[in-house]
Amino acid sequence: MSNLISNLGCIGTQFRDKGHLAVIDLYDPEHPREIDYPTYNANCDAVARGLLNRGLSAGDRVGVYCSNRLEFLEVFFGAMRVGVVPVMMGILQPADTIAWIVQDTGLKMVFCEAALQQNLPQGTLAVIVDADGEDGLSAFKDFGAVEYFQPEYDSTAFVAYTSGSTGRPKGALLSHRAHSWVARTISQERFFCPDDTMIVAAPLYHKHAMNSIKCVLYGGSTVVLLRKFDARIYVDAINRYKATVVSGVPTIFAMILQQRELLAGNDYSFVRLATMGGAPASDQLIDSVAELFPNAQINLIFGITETSAALFGRHPENLPRPRHSVGYPVKGNEFRLVGGEDENFGVLHVRGPGMMSGYLNNPQEMARRFDEDGWFNTGDILRRDEHGWYFFVGRSDDMFTSSGHNIYPAEVELVLERHEDIEQAAVVPAPHEIKHTVPYAFVVMRAGSGMTEEDVKAHVLRNAPPYQHPRRVMFINALPMTTVGKVDRRFLEAEARRIQKEEDARKESA
């Protein structure tokens, strides 16, 4: 058990003698791969031995550059077992960003899929995870016993790149100590055990999916791993594998609920937990998820790469969580809300045991986000009620002003999604010569709805302050999503500016 706590790569080794499934790999849904805990652990050890055989040692870095698949997990956790630091690389990043990451981190080699190798800088040593030749992962592995690395207090476990304000992503240094605590805390908060099966469809290079994997391995559970999110494959996996835990951003749950034919007539009483993160969820969405999964506890979750997802959880006295709360502070964390009208509203600043050690080669960003006392500015706006429960309001960089009023898009979106004919909505700013900016709404209507733009505006005017009502409403078939499943607000903002510019041009020519 000491290895489990001190070395993040060793999570799951306590089940190496248990024969139940660790991973069901649906990279190819027609040909699932089912891997038990003994096989999974043997493969991780074989990767670790392969790294040592090629002269790598603790502190060296390797890239993990592939889609969701078993091999991602084997390399990621196997490398950490001998202190080699895996660097997670987004598969949809442009080639110049990939080249910059290779240089920024000083990678010794990159484990990648054959189709992605062309994006690597010339001369990069690559191990192909989906090839059987001399440069493939199968040939790289060396099966046998291995001595696990014993981390020091802040030994880096892995590096995760998160979006940067200057156009370049930031490399967060995440330690064995911090993320062993994170894995243990989240798994215990959500009661993961060997009877659980969880579906993971978000990209593994993103914090949400990797936190889920750590919970699964800590609890000895089974993960059903999808190459990427596909609503039909996701629902089919729930049905086929009787998943007890489902998770995703609210947009993903909305897309699951649209699979009415696949869902119809099935009993989902076996689902015990549904977690939603990344954005607020409307009452209508929560009610629909609760109706679909009648025995599931529905938790809104909150976390960011730099501070982990082990910030909020259950009340210590097991008091019921308010519907829209992201939870009660997990013991060991410190919080303060800055810049609001009082101490119960503002931008969340955090100190806690799950914090990153710093940004790689980026002292400017460190100085911008950390103060001299070690408080980290998350950039997220939260509020706290009189009982100590926290509620997510929005990103500070998503907030915009209109005639001096602060508008938080998430608040307007919740109002919009309370309408029975609106499935999803996104609100973004559009330029205005007098008011500076005004809200524009992009709306996905329910099938068969006949609502108009004026109907939408009237609904918001009835249920929110006048300055929040959208000045334009665009009906679309689906909201655009980023690679990690969140609404692509930057794309919609550009679209709003384009629409406003066209309107201004028409007025000038009239």
Torsion of CA 198, 203, 204, 210, to 10 degrees: -60
Task: State pTM to two decimals.
Answer: 0.84
User: d(Cα 314, Cα 193) in Å, to the nearest integer?
Assistant: 18
Q: Give the integer Cα–Cα distance in Å for 431 and 439.
A: 9
Terminal alpha carbon distance of the chain: 75
Per DSSP, helices labelled H in 258-378 are 260-263, 283-292, 363-369
CB 86 within 8 A of CB 75: yes
Structure tokens belonging to residue 301: 């979750």
Which pLDDT value is given to residue 388? 96
List residues bridging with 195 in a β-sheet: none
What's the half-sphere exposure (Cβ side, CA atoms, 13 Å) at 249?
21
User: Residue 219 in contact with residue 19, Cβ under 8 Å?
Assistant: no
The three-class DSSP label of residue 444 is strand
Tokens of 370: 């950390």
Ordered by where they begin, the domains of the chain are: 400-509 (3.30.300.30)
Q: What are the φ/ψ torsions at residue 199 (nearest 5 degrees)?
A: -95, 130
Spans in the chain with pLDDT lower than 70: 1-5, 163-167, 483-485, 510
Q: Please state, in angstroms and rounded to a whole number, the distance separating the CA atoms of residues 463 and 458.
A: 9
Residues 6 or more apart whose CB falls under 8 angstroms from that of 278 comprise 208, 249, 250, 484, 485, 486
Distances (CA, A) of 433 to 35, 397, 436, 501: 60, 21, 6, 12
Residues in CB range of 425: below 8 A, 6 or more apart: 412, 413, 416, 417, 441, 442, 443, 444
Give the phi and the psi of residue 309 in degrees, each rounded to 5. -100, 5
